[in-house]
Amino acid sequence: MADRDPHGQALHAAEAACRQSGAWLTRSRRDVLALLPAAERPLTAYEILERLRPKDRAATAAGVYRSLEFLIAHRLAHRIESSKAFVACVFPEHAHPSQMLVCRRCGTAVETEDSRVVEAAESLGRRLGFALDRGALELTGLCSSCQG
């Protein structure tokens, strides 16, 4: 029988990835990670803190930021630079620069992966003499819901 809880599957996959790399998905990190895929849009660190507080009164902004740093370092989350918000990684099983489509009206972010985009960016960087960071590529516009 298939697992009907995609968020639970994501947490199990994150725990397995951490075990494989020798890292620990602590309770705090797990709690932060669990909020990201369940959110309707990317969350700022302070929005994450607000959502954690009912369950964990001792949660702090510093703790949330440390958890987010860990999750990003282990490819389990991404930071949306334009909004300083965070989303769960849709493709945690392999390393890749994140490619995000971000709605400028509602803030929805959709992660995608297209090797042609990465190759084009790297080619452009080489041609113009830039050593590109492994950062995110954000394309902004209007999502289908906001267009109508």
Per the structure block, which two tokens stand in for 29? 């990190």
Q: What is the pLDDT of residue 20?
A: 82
Q: What is the dihedral of CA 56, 4, 47, 76, to 10 degrees?
A: 90
Q: What is the pLDDT of residue 86?
A: 95
Q: What is the pLDDT of residue 48?
A: 98
Q: What is the pLDDT of residue 1?
A: 41
Q: Where are the beta strands (DSSP E) in 40-145?
A: 77-80, 85-88, 99-103, 109-112, 137-141
Per the structure block, which two tokens stand in for 109? 């972010």
Mean pLDDT per segment of 10 residues, for the chain of length 148 residues? 56 80 89 92 96 95 96 90 90 75 92 87 91 81 93
Helix (H) or strand (E) holding 9: helix 6-21
In contact, 63 and 31? CB cutoff 8 Å? no
Q: Which domains does the chain have, with CATH numbers?
A: 6-147 (1.10.10.10)
Q: What is the pLDDT of residue 2?
A: 44
